[in-house]
């Protein structure tokens, strides 16, 4: 938990430094001040509201014991197994099988699953997936995961910030500088994604298998999801690839630059580790 808090602090400090440096390069002291104010506001927003923003982005709808009794009660049972407060439960009307967890802490957590994953998996397999997501909540991975997704998306605003200064006649910013900013902004976003350790997925698999007491079910679920996910597009993830690292399986097609956003370990290795647990 301390490690994730440290990562979060470094991430939030890094975005302030990045914005401030760009602002100073493009607009001097005035530009740096504006950039620092934007970065500070972004950090506050990301900490308190990034989870709601991601859920809204995916048009997730909250369900309860009345509207989705089987799914809701499954999450409730697993939360008790994990000794966690009951999270909010959401369903996303998308055909691609996938799931994620979000929230700044276990007391303000939410788990979400697509209708595709609920239709594809057996009850045992779905139980394994939701146990994996609750493991992320227990380990407090969701804070840095959701904040990084929000900030990585906002990095693109640096490019517009650069063009704003480049078009200012009184600032004398060379067009080449603005072009360089536009090139480096996506790279910075990619590096933020790479800052999210792939090891956390292995650890969530291990802890999820313990919460559900069924490692083979999670292994079977990962195999099914991996087989189907890349065949069925998830348009929201394609439009916002910075959110891909939140999912249990990378939802992006491997084409082009989007493949660079993958922070997931090889599914085969995840399955092998789970089967070793079962053995």
Question: Furthest-apart CA pair in the chain: how many Å?
Answer: 69
Is residue 4 within 8 A of residue 143, CB to CB? The reply is: yes
153's CB contacts (< 8 A; 6+ apart) are: 189, 240, 242, 243
At 131-144, the pLDDT tens digits run 999 999 999 888 87
- Domain assignment present for 172: no
Catalytic positions are 133
Structural domain containing residue 269 = 51-151+197-278
List the binding residues: 132, 136, 201
Q: How far apart, in whole angstroms, are the C-alpha atoms of residue 105 and residue 187?
A: 29
Number of domains in the chain: 1
- Domain assignment present for 90: yes
Confidence of residue 68 (pLDDT cuts 50, 70, 90): very high
Confidence of residue 26 (pLDDT cuts 50, 70, 90): low
The whole-model pTM stands at 0.80
- Domain assignment present for 167: no
Confidence of residue 21 (pLDDT cuts 50, 70, 90): confident
At 75-117, the pLDDT tens digits run 999 999 999 999 999 999 999 999 999 998 999 999 999 999 9
- Domain assignment present for 170: no
List the binding residues for Zn(2+): 132, 136, 201
pLDDT reading at 169 higher than 50: no
> Judging by beta carbons within 10 Å of its beta carbon (0-12, 13-18, 19+), is residue 216 exposed, middle or buried?
middle
- Domain assignment present for 231: yes
Residue 123 belongs to domain with CATH number = 3.30.2010.10
- Domain assignment present for 269: yes
Tell which residue, 225, 223, 222, 214, has the closest CA to residue 127: 214
Other Cβ atoms within 10 Å of 116 Cβ, number = 21
- Average pLDDT (174-193) is 65
Is residue 79 within 8 A of residue 85, CB to CB? The reply is: yes
């Amino acid at each position: 938990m301390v490690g994730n808090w440290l990562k979060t602090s470094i991430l939030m400090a890094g975005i302030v430094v990045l914005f401030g440096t760009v602002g100073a390069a493009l607009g001097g002291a005035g530009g740096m001040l504006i950039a620092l104010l934007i970065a500070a506001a972004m950090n506050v927003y990301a900490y308190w509201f990034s989870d709601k923003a991601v859920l809204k982005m995916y048009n997730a709808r909250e369900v309860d014991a009345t509207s989705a009794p089987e799914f809701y009660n499954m999450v409730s049972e697993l939360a008790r197994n994990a000794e966690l407060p009951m999270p909010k439960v959401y369903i996303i009307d998308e055909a691609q099988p996938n799931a994620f967890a979000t929230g700044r802490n276990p007391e303000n957590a939410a788990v979400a699953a697509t209708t595709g994953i609920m239709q594809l998996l057996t009850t045992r397999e779905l139980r394994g997936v939701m146990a994996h997501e609750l493991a992320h909540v227990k380990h407090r991975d969701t804070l840095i995961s959701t904040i990084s997704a929000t900030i990585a998306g906002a990095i693109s605003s640096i490019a517009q910030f650069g063009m704003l200064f480049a078009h200012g006649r009184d600032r004398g910013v060379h067009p080449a500088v603005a072009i360089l900013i536009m090139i480096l902004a996506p790279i910075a976003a990619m590096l933020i994604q790479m800052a999210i350790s792939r090891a956390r997925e292995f650890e969530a698999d291990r802890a999820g298998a313990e919460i559900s007491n069924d490692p083979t079910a999670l292994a079977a679920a990962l195999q099914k999801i991996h087989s189907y996910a890349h065949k069925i597009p998830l348009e929201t993830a394609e439009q916002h690839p910075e959110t891909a690292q939140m999912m249990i399986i990378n939802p992006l097609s491997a084409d082009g630059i989007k493949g660079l956003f993958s922070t997931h370990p090889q599914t085969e290795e995840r399955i092998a580790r789970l089967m070793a647990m079962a053995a």
